[in-house]
Amino acid sequence: MKKPKNTSTVNKTEDTWLDRIVKSPYIHLGLAILSIFLAINTLSDVFKIIAIIVAGFIVIIAIIKYTSSQETKERLEKESLKRYEQFKYAYQKRYEQIFKHLRDYQREYKEISALINLRKINTIDDLGDRFKNLCTKIEIIFKIILDSEISACVKRIETDSIMNRDVNSWEVKTLARGQINDGDRYENDAKAVLIKDNTDFRRITIDGDNFFSAPDLLALHKYNNTTKNFEEYYRSAIVVPIRINRDLTNIKPTNNTNFDYHILGFLCIDSVDTFNESEEFSLATHFLKSFADSLYHLLEDFLRHQLDKLE
């Protein structure tokens, strides 16, 4: 969940033992019984009358307190049940929306896959145009999950022989970006940048991390980014690799590289908001990995068809 922009501290004071005695209807009832006992055992008629009057008054107060206490308890239980039902309904609607947009994503995905296999997507720019629709649907889904405006993009590694060359020379370039963006971000997408100069891509590709997840980028000890003044566009980010385990492919690395995965690019989401280390942010990170896995197959099919043309 998002970090609250304004936080305030409310000092809660607990009742003292004296407060609890004064408020308790059971104490009042006990005092009434004691007053009646004193009245019975007191020789003076005047004191008997006074004790009985006091006892009656205390009994009335005890009844009122008990009735009020029960009414308050029932009211709080009803309010708690109402809040729970509202919470459950909100989450139910939330996940209904997510599944609806997941179905939209699936339909778009199948359409792109069919077009690739029919050789109707012939250039990387054509593929980028279709991936733009997928990125937009990812933005909508993660906006619901994180309750924040989200930007999504797909980065592809600009390397002729990904598994063979020195990883420090690898470059990455934006293949597609969702429609929920301003013009400046599209301008920054025009050029390729070195992976090693960007903390998020470097950690995955060079350091061997499975993903990069930062709910607050400005809180990191060290974060490098080739986007100038990146904090104007986003302050939190999740980056996951578009890859597959090398054992599941026929691609064998050479030149002493020892990667366990064949990686084609990255799927990234970011936001101008910062977040707490919450279950939602952790869920978003792992959920995004499933989208990246699906994108690998589209990219791999497209590249395979491009290679077939060259042969």
Q: Which residues of 235-245 are buried (b: 16+ CB within 10 A; e: fewer)?
A: bbbbbbbbbbe
User: Is pLDDT of 7 > 60?
Assistant: no
Percent of the chain past pLDDT 90, that is, above it, reads: 40
228 pLDDT tier (thresholds 50, 70, 90): confident
Angstrom distance (rounded) from CA 238 to CA 287: 11
Q: Does position 116 have pLDDT exceeding 50, yes or no?
A: yes
Average pLDDT, the chain: 78
Question: What is the CATH number assigned to the segment(s) 119-310?
Answer: 3.30.450.40
Distances in Å between the Cα of 152 and the Cα atoms of 134, 203, 237 are 9, 19, 10
β-sheet with 212-214: strand ranges across: 193-194, 171-177, 151-157, 261-271, 236-245, 212-214
Alpha carbons 6 and 8: distance in angstroms, whole number: 7
Q: Between residues 131 and 48, which one has the greater pLDDT? A: 131
Q: Considering Cα of 159, then 213, then 151, then 98, what sign does the dihedral take?
A: positive
Condensed to tens digits (0 to 9), the pLDDT of residues 23-71 reads 555 555 565 566 556 555 655 566 566 666 666 666 666 666 666 666 6
pLDDT at 164: 52
- According to the model, what pLDDT value does residue 74 have? 72
The pLDDT-based confidence of 95 (bands split at 50, 70, 90) is confident
Convert the pLDDT of each residue in 248-296 to its tens digit: 555 555 444 446 778 899 999 999 999 987 777 888 999 999 999 999 9
Domain positions in the chain are: 17-82, 119-310
Cα(54)–Cα(253) distance, rounded to whole angstroms? 95
